[in-house]
Amino acid sequence: METVMKTALTALLAMLCLTACQPESNFNIEQQQQLDGSQALQLSVEGGFVLPPIPDDNPLTDAKAELGRHLFYDVRLSGNGQQSCESCHQQSLAFTDGKALPQGSEGHTLVLNSQSLTNVAYNASYTWWNPILVEMEDQLFIPLTGDDPVELGIDDGNREQVLQRFRDDEQYQSLFAAAFPQQAEPVTLVNVVKALASFVRTLISDRSAFDRGELSDSALRGRELFFSEKMECFHCHNGFNFSSSTVTVNTRFPERVFFNNGLYNLNNNGSYPSAMPGKFKVTNDWADMGAFRPPTLRNIELTAPYMHDGSIATLEQVIEFYAAGGRHIESGANAGDGRINPYKSDFVSGFEATEQEKQDLINFLHSLTDYEFIRDPRFANPFAEQPDA
């Protein structure tokens, strides 16, 4: 009887997750928020999507998003004028950089893989590991002004110099004036952040083969595996955004979840490399050692290498990693058996699968790729020469 009940509950849960992800025909929502003196941005979403939350103190406008797009791609928004946001977040790679670990503007290698900005407006928390960083505007100050590590390298010594670059530029004078029409001196770092946040919130990916219901037979089989208790992928990657750490405009009680997936187990005592121990860095609670936020799987085909440190090169290797229930590193500074990490999530328990089943799962993950998203001119570099229509 218990087995029958468990099977029924599993089937029901998978059905609910599928319902949350499946597209609905002719479903379109537009959101319009007014800001005195500027044109409101109409944000639309497709299929089973719900609108993302927008803060009251930074309503979306066309002018702010367009200013943010220019700033995102402009190397002048770094202390030494050598790097832009795009350096680590390239549209063709679903706004990642294809590297295991990125480099900051001063040449330092960072300790975390560049996350995709796909649907970042829906993140319940920001960065890979910080449970208290829940506002995008707060997060954006970190790559701009953070010093551990240095990313774009804006500091007290060069801040005015950086801002003056935009004050002296006639195009930016017009862009800032349109974005913040009620301000006499709109070129400020706070407004830079508001504009960047506005642009990044428009990076919504909802036009994949999955969203259109155009799955191959193999991908359909992979979908069943993804939502099965056998592979348990859906526990951490669920809902329309394929992440359990998701909020929408309708969310009242956000769940900010983090998981240890057995990537490390230094000296078999549960530790992770000291440079990035996950949520533990904030809480100092060993139960949070190695716990990281589950990212969206949308466009996962384009965002290799994988994991918070980019230490797994391919999707095929990711599947093998989860099939093993974690990673066993036999030697070196990070030696240890992640499969027996005492803080590992129960959802990462390993599974047996045929080669065909593994390929089916990969084909399902490929169906989450949104080629329109990575070619959308609304998100493209405004300084690059655009091809003729």
- Binding-site annotation, residues for heme c: 85, 88-89, 233, 236-237
**The tokens of 13 are what?**
């849960």
User: Measuring CA to CA, which residue among 335, 348, 160, 140 is closest to residue 260?
Assistant: 348
Q: Which residues are annotated as a binding site?
A: 85, 88-89, 233, 236-237
- Residues 52 and 371: their CA atoms lie apart, in Å, by 21
**Alpha-carbon torsion 307, 312, 314, 319, what sign?**
negative
User: Measuring CA to CA, which residue among 137, 109, 98 is closest to residue 306?
Assistant: 98
Strand partners, 32: 42
Strand partners, 123: 246
- Residues 292 and 219: their CA atoms lie apart, in Å, by 28
Strand partners, 189: none
Q: Where would I find the beta strands (DSSP E) of 225-287?
A: none
The radius of gyration computed from the CA coordinates of the chain, to the nearest angstrom, equals 22
